[in-house]
Homo-oligomer: A and B are copies of this chain.
Amino acid sequence: MVRSGIISLASRRTGLSNPLVEKLGHFVKLAPPDRQMIQRISSERTRDFGAREDIIQEGDRPEHINLILSGWACRYKVLEDGRRQVIAFFLPGDLCDLNLFVLRQMDHSIGAITSVTLSEISRSGFDELMLAHPRITQGLWWESLVAAATQREWAVNLGQRDATERMAHLFCELFLRLRTVGLARENSIDMPLTQSELGEATGLSAVHVNRTLQELRALGLIVLKDRTLTIPDFGALKDVALFNANYLHLEHEGRHLDANEA
């Protein structure tokens, strides 16, 4: 596994601010020192991965927390016979694994989808963050609970929705999540996933993903071309998907935590 280390690209790609700052800002009000702290910690040790490269493999015992700075990654599991399920997508601003300080080894893998730049946050860096910056701590709690809620929603998606609804739901989620880190345009986002990867995430065969996409296109719900997904009418897609954004807890819910504002 090649693991070089180029630092500068990331900040250029995501604009000036850090995607985690951007994301947490939707939940808690971060003071300038909070932002600087996140900024600092997430640029201390960055690392680049090529597309398709594994970031962490099942059985590893990782030593740090990974923060995605740019690119897409995914959490996945492979059955003995090779079937693969993508369990979650990681977008810029997402933290990969808070669990690793407690559990002995990874029970799944994390792989880059596009090329990825991430920041490796050490245990001590993390503790420092939590101790000195309660606002960030609150934000990280929020992030981790939303990740759990998203995981639950995926179970609903896989268990109850049919192919069309499932695909539509995934697109709704990705659009909103990218928007909270400033990576959505008016009504479109980058869509680096191949049809086969979409299938691994939705539990559908690649062939059926293809047909499902065509259906969504025919209904005028999406435009998907040149690795760009456009959603002309989000409300319409949302209705088809039976999508309810509650589980993303985006409504700036943390305001009540700002009582003792700086």
Contact = CB atoms under 8 A, between A and B. Distances in A.
B156 A151 contact: no
B152 A108 contact: yes
Contact of A155 (B102, B155, B249): B155
A127 interface: no
A149 B247 contact: no
Interface stretch (A32-40, A77-85, A178-186): A77-85
Contacts of A77: 152-153, 156
Contact of A85 (B138, B141, B155, B203): B155
Interface string A234-262: 00000000101011010101100000000
A132 to B, nearest CB: 19
B85 A159 contact: yes
Nearest to A108: B152
A242 B81 contact: yes
Number of copies: 2
Contact of A148 (B148, B158, B244): B148
A8 interface: no
Nearest to A83: B160
Interface in A118-157: 138, 141-142, 145-146, 148-149, 151-156
A75 interface: yes
Nearest to A159: B203
Nearest to A246: B107
A87 B156 contact: yes
A160 B75 contact: no
A104 B152 contact: no
Contact of A160 (B102, B142, B203, B249): B203
B151 A99 contact: no
Nearest to A255: B104
A212 interface: no
A202 interface: yes
A103 interface: yes
A146 B253 CA distance: 27
A142 B108 CA distance: 16
Given A79-B156, A84-B160, A155-B158, 12 more contacts: A77-B152, A79-B160, A81-B242, A87-B156, A102-B141, A102-B254, A103-B149, A107-B149, A107-B246, A107-B249, A151-B152, A158-B158
6 closest Cβ contacts across the A-B interface? A159-B203, A158-B158, A104-B253, A85-B159, A85-B156, A107-B247
